[in-house]
Amino acid sequence: MSPRVIIFTTLIALDSYYFPSATHLSLHPGSSKGPKRGGARKPPTAGRSVSITTKTRIGGNLHIINLYQFTANDGGQQDVVWRLINSWPGISRHPGERVILIGDMNGSFLGGRHNYAHPMEKNLVEADVRLAKFCADSKGTISSPTEHSWKRGDKRAKLDHGISWNFHLASPRAVFNDIAHQRFDHAILSFSLPAEEFSKKLQPARKQLAPTDIIDAVFF
């Protein structure tokens, strides 16, 4: 029996009303040093992160990184990803750049986990320490929801966060989708951004292509 292959895909969707244009960024320029997948050598963040840059109304750059971090069982890979992001030029070489990192960090903080079994406790504590260390080393400001953002059975945790540099993020909300075919173990995490920071592009009213109760809608 062949092992199961899991393919991860990460997406960032921007509303063109507030973000007229954007360009793709790479978190891992140069040669890839990650494991071979499908015959080609890929970086550790392949499929797990995507980065773009857009402009604010006054012309400054805003970088957005969407991340699906490795689980607590893959502590070594978590370290690799945190080092990649911390050494990324937008953070390390240009400390004045505005950056938002959002996503499933697979890490929490004191009081952020409930009803976990003891055999996993060491891995979870280490994952939480890595997240805190990354924020301290990179001087990022973390914003976490007041509600739990992940649940499975009796377990609850705050695993989804926003981390920002030179940009204020309002406290996020975590709302679980109750539509049967769109129900996942993670909540929809919502942050508000100051609309006055971004240029507005006039365009006609948009027509809804399909009702969201019969398609898998993507929320950011």
Which pLDDT does position 117 carry in this prediction? 67
The pLDDT tens digits along the chain (220 residues) read: 455 556 666 778 887 777 878 888 777 654 444 445 455 566 777 778 888 898 877 778 889 999 999 999 999 999 999 998 998 877 777 778 889 999 999 999 878 888 876 656 889 999 999 999 999 999 999 999 988 999 888 889 999 999 999 988 888 888 888 776 666 788 888 888 777 777 665 655 655 554 544 444 444 4
Residue ranges in the chain assigned as alpha helix (H): 75-86, 89-92, 121-138
HEC string of 96-160 equals CCEEEEEEECCCCCCCCEECCCHHHHHHHHHHHHHHHHHHHHHCCEEECCCCCCEEECCEEECCE
User: Which residue, chain included where needed, has tokens 């062949």?
Assistant: 2
User: Which residue, chain included where needed, has tokens 């940009």?
Assistant: 167
Which pLDDT does position 216 carry in this prediction? 43
Fold of 22-197: Deoxyribonuclease I; Chain A (3.60.10)
